[in-house]
Structure 1
């Protein structure tokens, strides 16, 4: 069975727990790498908040190269709009502006 893990700040983790996600970890910039190391063998899909993603990008890319699916989700520090804009820019090669 596919295992989904969520890593984020306390508020995000609480919200996902209320939504029924069982495998959750509260992390911060200082311990995000240790949390990723702890779950790397069990997790198939890892949802990680925008703010934490930036602190472990090299480790995340290594996990992706092994077939793990990593999804960056918005948090209080990074909006969903910023993430979507970056994805579009990466796909089409330029940024769309109003």
Structure 2
């Protein structure tokens, strides 16, 4: 079974690490495309979660990557500091595993 990798602020990444998820925090959202390129090369990752606050400033650069990507699945999640609709984690995981 593949891994989940989270990218975002220190608080969000720390929370995900507490439950055993790999992650990396970045201060500058403009470093995100390079990090995604590195993560796409890893065969063990099935799902990359990116916090909304990292995605929003550069979404025009990230959207083509997300639209063109099959594995790992890349999705945007709310951070504790952003407003968003509820997240269906089960649905995301099932989709990443190829069942959705």
Q: What interval of TM-score do these two structures reach, taking the shorter chain for normalisation?
A: 0.5 to 0.7
Once the two structures are superposed, the pairs formed by residues 64-83 of structure 1 within 5 Å of their partners are: 64-68=67-71, 69-81=73-85
Q: Which of the two has higher C-alpha Rg?
A: 1
Rounded Cα–Cα distance in structure 1 between residues aligned with 2:70 and 2:34 = 19
Q: TM-score, normalised by structure 2?
A: 0.66
Q: What are the ranges of 5 or more consecutive residues in structure 1 without an aligned counterpart?
A: 84-98
In the alignment of these two chains, the number of paired residues is: 82
Q: Does the CA contact (< 8 Å) of 1:50 and 1:77 recur in 2?
A: no
1:16-65 deviations in Å (ceiling 9; x for gaps): 011111x2011132322221122112232111101111234233432441
Q: What are the ranges of 5 or more consecutive residues in structure 2 without an aligned counterpart?
A: 88-100
Once the two structures are superposed, the pairs formed by residues 15-26 of structure 1 within 5 Å of their partners are: 15-21=15-21, 23-26=22-25
